[in-house]
Amino acid sequence: MFPQMCEMKVDDLLGLEPVRLDLAHVRQFLAGRAVLVTGAAGSIGSELCPQVVAHGPKPLVLYDRHQNDLFAFEKELQMRHPTVHLEPVLGRHLLDAVFSTSQPEVVFHAGAYKHVSDGRAEPA
């Protein structure tokens, strides 16, 4: 009647080989370096930052244009990782100034608009 059911994993649906990270290499690359994450409080940045924090950056610069989200995310991250030096920067500052002041050695650009119009009229 029904085919045999089996347990599926996300990897089965993607049809791609999973990427295996060399975490020792990542730690060696990030430890002690100034790291900047743009869009830090967004959906991608807020997942990325805790992973970066785990590898010991000094400091981690959190750049976002949404003041309330940035404030809340910084407090949450600081609570979970009290020894990490975080530098929140509100996105109204030009990145030139952020680069001059914080001098990041590694940049993760996670800032993006999720919903961008292509400029065409919507069908009626």
What's the pLDDT tens digit per position in 65-77?
Answer: 999 999 999 999 9
Inside any domain, residue 13? no
Residues in CB range of 38: below 8 A, 6 or more apart = 45, 63, 64, 91, 95, 107, 108, 109, 110, 111
Which pLDDT value is given to residue 54?
A: 93
Show the domain range for 62.
30-109
Local confidence band at 13 (pLDDT 50, 70, 90 cut-offs): confident
Cα-to-chain-centroid distance, residue 65: 14
The order of strands in the sheet holding 106-109 is 86-90, 60-64, 35-38, 106-109
- Please give the Cα distance from 35 to 58 (Å, whole number): 7
Inside any domain, residue 118? no
Which pLDDT value is given to residue 122?
A: 55
Contact 59, 37 (CB under 8 A): no
Specify the DSSP element, H or E, that contains 38: strand 35-38
Q: What is the CATH number of the domain that holds 105?
A: 3.40.50.720
Lowest-pLDDT range, 51-55, 112-116, 119-123?
Answer: 119-123
Phi, psi of 55, deg, nearest 5: -105, 10
pTM: 0.79
Stretch 28-54: mean pLDDT:
96
Inside any domain, residue 1? no
Q: How many domains does the chain have?
A: 1
Specify the DSSP element, H or E, that contains 24: helix 23-30
